Amino acid sequence: MDRRQVGFTLLELVMVIVILGILAAVALPRFFDLSGDANKSSLAGTVAAINSGNTINYGARSIDVANGVAVASRRGVAVANCDDAWKLIGTGAATQPAGYVMTPPATIPTTVGSQFTCTVTANGNNGSVVLTVIQ
């Protein structure tokens, strides 16, 4: 009678399980750690909102400068520094939300219509906001 081996030995099965366990312990956390991507996306959304708000604000302010001071009028707000950028997406207060830091450039121009770039940092990620001076 011819005896052939059918299937795997217990030692082979145990070794495969051990190797799969090691791979799961090392590789899977890298695939499922999405917090870095979430932080980057949150920062990108904030930067995009500020840039869009600045563009709309500049257009509205250019049309009606005399009435463009109050945020409630929706006719634009004065932008003279990086802190003013938060007025464009918030309630009108020039305060940075918790977790965000905005760093101004070395010099900020004072001529209306000139542009400057501020760096926004949140959760270790950086983004840049281009603002147009509106006095």
Q: What is residue 94's predicted lDDT score, i.e. its pLDDT?
A: 66
pLDDT value at 72 more than 50: no
Percent pLDDT > 90 in the chain is 8
Read off the amino acid at residue 119.
T
Q: What is residue 127's predicted lDDT score, i.e. its pLDDT?
A: 82
Higher pLDDT, 35 or 66: 35
DSSP code per residue over 2-16: -----S--HHHHHHH
Extents of the domains making up the chain: 35-132
pLDDT value at 105 more than 80: yes
At 40, list the tokens: 């980057």
pLDDT value at 98 more than 60: yes
Measuring CA to CA, which residue among 122, 118, 121, 120 is closest to residue 131?
Answer: 118
Question: For 51-82, b where at least 16 C-beta lie within 10 A, e where not — what string?
Answer: bebbeebbebbeeeeeebeebeeebbbbbbeb
Q: Pick from 6-10, 58-62, 64-68 the range whose average pLDDT is largest.
A: 6-10
Q: What is residue 99's predicted lDDT score, i.e. its pLDDT?
A: 79
| Measured distance CA(88)–CA(79) in Å, rounded | 9
- pLDDT tier, 2 (very low <50, low <70, confident <90, very high otherwise): low
Lowest mean pLDDT among 22-31, 73-82, 96-105, 109-118: 73-82
Q: What is residue 32's predicted lDDT score, i.e. its pLDDT?
A: 75
